[in-house]
Every structure is written in C-alpha cells, then in structure tokens.
Structure 1
Amino acid sequence: MIEQFNFENWSTYSLADIANYHNGYAFKPTDWAEEGTKIIRIEQLNNPDGSYDYFNGNYPSINAIKDGDLIFSWSATLKVVIWKHGPAVLNQHLFRVDEKTGFDKKFIYYVLDYNMDSISGGSHGSTMKHIRRGELSKFKIKIPELFIQNKIAHILSALDSSIEETEKLIKKYHKIRTGMMHDLFTRGVNSDGKLRPCRTQSPDLYKKTSIGWIPNEWSVIPFGNVVNVIDPNPSHRYPNESEDGYPICSTENFFGSDDFDYSKSKKVSEFVYQLQNNRCQFSSLDVIFARKGRLGLARRYGSDKKVFSHTVVIMKPLNNKVDASWLLWLARSNWFLDGISHEMNTNLGVPTLGVEFIKGINIPLCSMDEQAQINRLLDKIAEKIHAFEHELAKLERIKAGLLHDLLTGKVTVTRQEGTEVPHV
C-alpha cells in the first residue's frame, strides 16, 4: 500500500505560527573577551571557521546556541543556517528559531531558505535589509503534516550532506595545492620530476638572491622581460551596452577555480569586441589577472569571446621563455601575490595594480623543461578540484529544483507500508 500526501491537503500557516523567534543578546564592545563563550554574529554565519570574539559572563539561556540549533539572520544579511560549530551565544540581529509543536526544525530551515527572496522582498530599506517580527506573522505558507515534513527534511538533508562532503573535498585539495605551489615555486623539481630537497637538507642546491633563496639553476628576472602585460581597457570606462553581443568580463565574473559566470553581466556589441581584440590579440591561453579589488585571481582566457573591464590585465608570454600554463600557476601562487603585496605596501599603497608596476616585479625563472614538469603536477590536482566543483554545482542545481518541487507539492512524497524509505 502506498499512501499519498497531496499539496491540496496541506494547511496554511504564517511563519510566526510554526516557530518562536528569539532575538540575540545585545553585546557591547566592552563585553568582548579573549576567552569564554564564543559570540555568533553575522560574519560567523558566513565564515564559521574564522575568528570569534568571546563573552566571559552570564547571559540569558534563550540566547545560548548548541549544535543543531536554527539561526535566522534578519538584519543586513538575510540568511538561515543550522549551527554545527559548538556551543556559543547569539548576538543581536539574529534569531534563534525554536520550532513549535507539530513542526520539524529542519523543515522550517528549508522553508525559510526557499522563501528568503520573497521574505526579503517585503523588508525595509533598499541596501540594509530588515525583517520585523510582524512581517513573520503576515507571511503565509502551506505546510504538510509532521510526518511529511520529516520526510522532506530527510530527503533534502541527504543532499545537503553530499554538498557538504564535496565542499570539504574542494577545500582539502585547495589546501594541498597551495602547499604544493609554495614548494614548486621555491624548490622546483629535479630531472626526475620530483621536488628538490629543501634548503635545510641540501643547502648546496640553493643560492641567495634579491627575492630570497632559489635553486642554483634558476635566475631572477623582471616579470615584464618575459611576460607582456596589457591593459585591455585603458580608458577605464565601461562601453555602451548592447542587447546582443559579448559579455563584459570583470573580477565580478570570476567563478570557481577556472570558470567565468556571466549570468549578471552587461553586453557590448561586436564592434566594441573587435576594437579590444585588435589591441590585445586575444589567445585562448592568455592569462586574465585581477588587478583591482579582488587582487590576484587568475584565469585562462578560454574559448568564449568577451570584453574586459579595467579591473583586469591580460598576460601573454614573451620570447619563448615562459610557458602559458606555468604563467597561470605563477600568477596564482602565494609567492607572486605576497611579492605584489610587499611592493604595494612600500611603493603604491593603493588597491589597484598598474601595468608597469606588474612588469617590474622580480620573479624566479626556471627552464622550460622544468616549467613543464611543474605544470604536470599542478594540472593533475587542478583536474580533481575542477571535477569536484562541477559536481558541487550539479548537486546545488538538483537541490534547488528539488527544494522547489517538494515545498510546492509538484513532487508528491509517499509512504510505502513496511518501509521507512521515502518515495518521491
């Protein structure tokens, strides 16, 4: 026997009907301490692994947070999370959401998450979002009986678990790659394609230079001697928009490890593209480097045609001394970015990198053969990251579709007698 639960039979409730919303404690800067109970503010919802302030005192139990609690950020940044990062105390402008009898906490989480755009559409202020308790009473939704809430939450939680595991793998391999890049751009590889021993183990393999210790076979050379750096938009003005044509690419479009996202990009005409292409002579292997705002992000040009804003520069190898893939990895390396930051602090002191400034950065240079060996090692781990990122995007698309289908009754949840496995 299969029992079906139709959307038409779901009951209508307001958000205030299904849960109690407890505002956080109004901490003052003088309350902050270096130890005690960690304080959850909006930035901790966005980066729970980041830094915290602490409170070393007494606070109302209603503001205490433990793993599994539901937190709703109702001011400025509108967001809902299930907390999983240990005991804490909630700051003001955040609700602890406690489900009422007959309602599933995780189901409420998905309801709030799914309806966040609609809820925020009625909030106050164009730049500073703000939701009052009264608006929670006015916002109506249809909700099934508790058993179906449990089943829907179970299905979506399983997807969330897969998403979280994929995100952990991406972070893991990014961390591995960061360490590998540091070693490869300070120690390089020998003829067998293996890392050279570090300097403490084999000091005779290294020499001291103006940029630090590097392998004896390497040289130090200004970046502009081996790489052409081009400003694709020297006017620093956005061209006139067009309904059809090519997207404008800026650092805002940089997505994942290697991709661009043009979903919100303005477009320009074929004529504007040809003007910029005539100046830059784009190649699919060109390196697009963020020189303003989000400094240091780097991507290959790729195959899709685009027009660039003044927030990026184009990097092209010169004189057959630099491989295009090695240039991409160099531009992404902490060594290169740390060198830029150091020079900026002493010379420019502004968050925009000029073309001549970039050309003047001294870099370590190894042979083309060694560059190829380095590329092979980094390309291999990049393929793993890229695959995980595509898997993550796929899972998030599936979740978005399933979230809509389950919460609007498009997909009917059923129960088969003698089994706890939900059927969708």
Structure 2
Amino acid sequence: MEMTTAAAVEKQGYKLTKLGWIPEEWDVRKLDDVAEIHNHLRFPLSETVRKGMQGPYPYYGPTKAQDYLDHFRVEGKYVLIGEDGDHFLKFQTHPMTLLVDGQYNVNNHAHLIKGTESCETEWVYWFFNSRDLTNDITRQGAGRYKLTKDALKRLLLVVPPVAEQRAIINILNGLKIQEKVILALVKAKSTYKSGLMQQLLTGQLRFPEFQGQPWHEQRISSLITESRIPGSNGKAAKKLTVKLYGKGVLAKNERQIGSVNTKYYARKAGQFIYSKLDFLNGAFGLIPEELDGYESTLDLPTFDISPEVDASLLLAYFSREEFYARFADIAAGGRKAVRIGPEELLKKKILLPSLPEQQRIAAVLNACDQEIELLQAQLRQWQQQKKGLMQQLLTGQLRVPNSL
C-alpha cells in the first residue's frame, strides 16, 4: 500500500496518534498497561562471585550473556531492555532489546518484560528493537544513561489486535532467520579462507605445478623499505587509520583538529602500512587507490614493496596471528602498551615460495575475499530491506492480509 499524504492515509482507515499514523483498529498504549515488568527476578552478582558459580545457565545483561552459572532464577520467555549504559545511543546499528527463553539469570542492568493477553512478549521485543529511546532516558554522570522503571512504564507502543501481532511476529522472525543464514554463510566462508590461507602460506598445500620447488628464507628488509616522504602537519593532513585484524585502511574521521607541530608523512597507494601500537592486534593493510596522497605519522609506518614479492600475499602472511604473535616477547608492559617499530619487523625472516607461486596463492585468497565481500554486501542489503519492512509492519503501513 502506497501512502503519500496524510489525507491519503486517513481515507484508507488510519488515525493520527502520538506515534504517528496507525490503522484505526490499532491502539497506542503505555507499556505498563499491556505488559508486566518482572525486575524482582534479577540476580545481581559480581564477577568474583560468579567465578565460584560456573555452570550451564546463561547470565544475561541487556545485550548478551555475560556468564554461565550453576543454577537459574528465571524460566520462560522475556524481553530484556537495558536499564543503564550508553547502548541507548546506538539504536540505529544495535538492537535495544534482547529476547530470551528457557532457563537463565538476568543481572541488574536489564529490565525483564513479559507480555499479556493483549500484547505478545515478542511484540514488545520487535517494537522496541530499533526504537530511539533517547528522549526517555536520563543522564547519570559522564557517558552514563539510565532508563528507570518509571520511565519504562510510561513508554508508548503501538498495539494491534493479537492476531495481527502474531502474524507480523511470524514475518519478522522469518526475516531474522534469513539474516542468520547469511551471517552463517559469511562466517563459514571466512573460516574456510583462514584454514586455506594457513595451509597455503606454510606449504602444507601446494599447487601441482609447483610441487618440488623449494621455498627460501628471506629477511623482511629485503622485501619492504620504509617510506618517509615529508608531508604536512596534524592540522592540514588528510589522515589514514588502519583497522585491526587486517580489515583495511580507511580515512581517519577526526572530531578534533590536530596540532600544527605534529609531523606527517605522505603515503602512496599500494604501500604496506601498519600501526605500531596495534601491531599485536593485526593492524596491517595496503593503502588503496582512493587514499593515495593521504598522510600518517611515524606511528603508522609505511613501506614500499619490492616487485619480487606479491603485495597481497605479503599482507596475508603478516595478517596471520601466527606471524604477529611472535613479536609479543619483545615488548614490556602488556599487549595494550606494546609498540613494534620498523626495525623489529624488518630484521625478521620469513619463508616464501617463488613469485609465480606467490601470485597463484594470492589469486586463490583474493577470490575467497571477493566471495566474502559479496556475501557481506548481500547481508548489508538484506539488513537494510529488513529495517524498512520492520518499520512498515510495526506501524501498520503494511498490513498482513490473512490477519485482518
């Protein structure tokens, strides 16, 4: 049903409410009128106490299971919605509700909600799942927000007839299952690629045409050379950042302008770059064409790559935890404080096949990456479609014929 104007909606049997236009037979109610809050079932426990109570029953916070305990206090289906935290600000990308069932426990940072005869528990879950609650929360110090029980009771929600609620819930559950299927495909393909990469980069799996050809140990300094082309400063530079675990190189989005006293260096497309601070978290990448000419400080050292080595293969080699974890023993102060300088990287040796075999390996791994990227694009497209369909179903703009 296409609705372009308020008048058109009204003619089709809709009414204007505090939550916008909804079907005439739907209502807008306070949560306290159509659902029950069961916070008396909460079980606040410190991490220290929980260590002595380990078991099979989930111990939920507002967004996920925080632990597993040896007994349970809650049984059945409930909706969890956070009582405090900063996740309320992330409603566009993170769910605001969690649907739990079975036998489990809930900490004191989540409200427990159960539906009634007039409002299904899962309707509450879906209605508030992506809802902006920022107008209903209070500020509790720096970066701390709270949805009090009284504020929770006053939350307004749209309530269709129960039959229509159930029909909509079935559709939304189906969309959620489809999303999980795509997520599972992405995970499976990523796991397959990781295993394949390990075998190919260690010579456990060889292509027939290269069988019998030796690999040679090479010092990394013979493969890459640090680049220090003078650039601008912290105020003028277009800056780069490197994501963790080989997830790529991006333009840095800074909220504050940098200092004119900070020296920056120009970087070129195709160069290898890493983060000194996050070396042990796999912060490696190749600078893409669109970021040619961007800059970084020496905290993100950058290197020209020898034509005698395949750049994609070298990145794959460096991005394996088996490689970068070898550097953990050279730094003091724990993983978060570790900085790995170019001199430490360059003096290491690695075992590599001939350039043709490198290129063959890189082609296979790049094909895997393309398949993963295609699945991830499908997932993003599906999630966007799901979000739009959810909005239409939960407001009655799109009706389920068999439930009317």
TM-score range, shorter chain: 0.7 to 0.9
Tell me the equivalent position of 1:384.
371
Query: Which of residues 316, 323, 343 is equivalent to 1:356?
Result: 343
Across the aligned residues of Structure 1 and Structure 2, the Cα RMSD in angstroms comes to 3.9
2:201 partner amino acid? F
- Asked if the contact 1:290–1:298 (Cα under 8 Å) also holds between the matched residues in 2, the reply is yes
Query: Which of residues 321, 325, 328 is equivalent to 2:315?
Result: 328
Tell me the equivalent position of 1:137.
153
1:97 aligns with 2:113: yes
What is the alpha-carbon distance in structure 2 between the residues aligned to residue 238 and residue 65 of structure 1? 56
Quickly say closer, same or farther: Cα 1:98–1:53, change in 2 above 3 A: same
1:374 partner amino acid? I
Tell me the equivalent position of 2:100.
83
Shift of 1:32: 3.5
1:71 aligns with 2:57: no
Query: Which of residues 308, 314, 318 is equivalent to 2:302?
Result: 314
Tell me the equivalent position of 2:177.
161
What is the alpha-carbon distance in structure 1 between the residues aligned to residue 229 and residue 33 of structure 2? 56
What is the alpha-carbon distance in structure 2 between the residues aligned to residue 337 and residue 390 of structure 1? 29
Q: Counterpart of 1:13 in 2: which secondary structure?
A: strand
2:99 partner amino acid? I
Query: Which of residues 229, 235, 250 is equivalent to 2:241?
Result: 250
- Asked if the contact 2:224–2:305 (Cα under 8 Å) also holds between the matched residues in 1, the reply is yes
What is the alpha-carbon distance in structure 2 between the residues aligned to residue 353 and residue 120 of structure 1? 46
Query: Which of residues 385, 389, 397 is equivalent to 2:384?
Result: 397
Q: With CA pairs under 8 Å and 6+ residues apart, which has the higher RCO, 1 or 2?
A: 1
2:284 partner amino acid? A
Quickly say closer, same or farther: Cα 1:382–1:288, change in 2 above 3 A: same
TM-score, structure 1 as length reference: 0.73
What is the alpha-carbon distance in structure 2 between the residues aligned to residue 136 and residue 256 of structure 1? 42
Shift of 1:395: 1.1
What is the alpha-carbon distance in structure 2 between the residues aligned to residue 259 and residue 403 of structure 1? 34
Quickly say closer, same or farther: Cα 1:93–1:323, change in 2 above 3 A: same
2:372 partner amino acid? I
1:107 aligns with 2:123: yes
Tell me the equivalent position of 1:55.
70
What is the alpha-carbon distance in structure 2 between the residues aligned to residue 348 and residue 130 of structure 1? 33
Quickly say closer, same or farther: Cα 1:255–1:14, change in 2 above 3 A: farther
What is the alpha-carbon distance in structure 1 between the residues aligned to residue 335 and residue 118 of structure 2? 61
What is the alpha-carbon distance in structure 2 between the residues aligned to residue 347 and residue 222 of structure 1? 27
Quickly say closer, same or farther: Cα 1:333–1:72, change in 2 above 3 A: same
Tell me the equivalent position of 2:4.
none
What is the alpha-carbon distance in structure 1 between the residues aligned to residue 343 and residue 136 of structure 2? 45
Aligned residues: 368
Tell me the equivalent position of 2:271.
286
TM-score, structure 2 as length reference: 0.76
Query: Which of residues 362, 367, 371 is equivalent to 1:375?
Result: 362
Quickly say closer, same or farther: Cα 1:387–1:259, change in 2 above 3 A: farther
Shift of 1:371: 0.7
What is the alpha-carbon distance in structure 2 between the residues aligned to residue 261 and residue 399 of structure 1? 29
Q: Counterpart of 1:304 in 2: which secondary structure?
A: helix
What stretches of structure 2 of length at least 5 have no aligned partner?
1-11, 15-21, 88-95
Query: Which of residues 221, 225, 229 is equivalent to 2:222?
Result: 225
Shift of 1:363: 2.2
What is the alpha-carbon distance in structure 1 between the residues aligned to residue 194 and residue 178 of structure 2? 24
What is the alpha-carbon distance in structure 1 between the residues aligned to residue 256 and residue 291 of structure 2? 11
- Asked if the contact 2:34–2:119 (Cα under 8 Å) also holds between the matched residues in 1, the reply is yes
Shift of 1:186: 1.9
